Amino acid sequence: MARSKIALVGAGQIGGTLAHIAALKELGDVVLFDIAEGIPQGKALDLSQSSAQQGFHSKISGANDYGAIAGADVVIVTAGVPRKPGMSRDDLLSINLKVMESVGEGILAHAPGAFVICITNPLDAMVWALQKKTGLPANMVVGMAGVLDSARFRHFLSEEFNVAIEDVSAFVLGGHGDDMVPSLRYSTVAGVPLPDLVKAGWTTQAKLDAIVERTRKGGGEIVGLLKTGSAFYAPAASAIAMAESYLRDERRVLAAAAQLNGEYGVNGLYVGVPVVIGANGVERVVEVALDADEKKMFEKSVASVQTLVDACKTINPAFA
Ligand code: A3D
Distance (angstroms) between ligand 1 centre and the Cα of 125 equals 15
- Residue 112 to residue 119: CA distance in whole angstroms: 18
Whether the Cβ atoms of residue 257 and residue 271 lie closer than 8 Å to each other: yes
Nearest to 175 by CA among 300, 287, 288: 300
pLDDT of the residue at 255: 97
Kindly give the parts of the chain with pLDDT less than 70. 85-86, 88-89
Nearest CA, atom 4, ligand 1: 12
65-112: per-residue pLDDT in tens?
Answer: 999 999 999 999 999 997 776 676 678 899 999 999 999 999 999 999
Nearest to 77 by CA among 11, 20, 135, 174: 11
Whether the Cβ atoms of residue 246 and residue 103 lie closer than 8 Å to each other: no
pLDDT of the residue at 89: 67
Q: Is the CB of 123 under 6 A from ligand 1?
A: yes
Q: Is the CB of 64 under 6 A from ligand 1?
A: no
pLDDT of the residue at 24: 98
Q: Is the ipTM of this complex over 0.90?
A: yes
Distance (angstroms) between ligand 1 centre and the Cα of 291 equals 36
pLDDT of the residue at 238: 98
pLDDT of the residue at 76: 99
Which residues neighbour 23 within 8 Å (Cβ) at sequence distance 6 or greater? 30, 47, 51, 54, 56, 58, 60
Task: Give the gyration radius of the chain's Cα atoms.
Answer: 19
Q: Is the CB of 77 under 6 A from ligand 1?
A: no
Nearest CA, atom 5, ligand 1: 12
Q: Is the CB of 18 under 6 A from ligand 1?
A: no
Percent of the chain with pLDDT over 70: 98
Pairing, β 252-261 against β 267-278: antiparallel
pLDDT of the residue at 177: 77
Instruction: Please give the positions annotated as active site.
Output: 176
**Domains assigned to the chain:** 5-144 (3.40.50.720), 146-312 (3.90.110.10)
pLDDT of the residue at 83: 73
Per the confidence metrics, is the pTM higher than 0.90?
yes
- Residue 204 to residue 202: CA distance in whole angstroms: 7
Using left for φ > 0, alpha for ψ between -120 and 50, and beta otherwise, residue 207 falls in alpha
Q: Which residues are annotated as a binding site for NAD(+)?
A: 10-15, 34, 96, 119-121
- Residue 14 to residue 118: CA distance in whole angstroms: 12
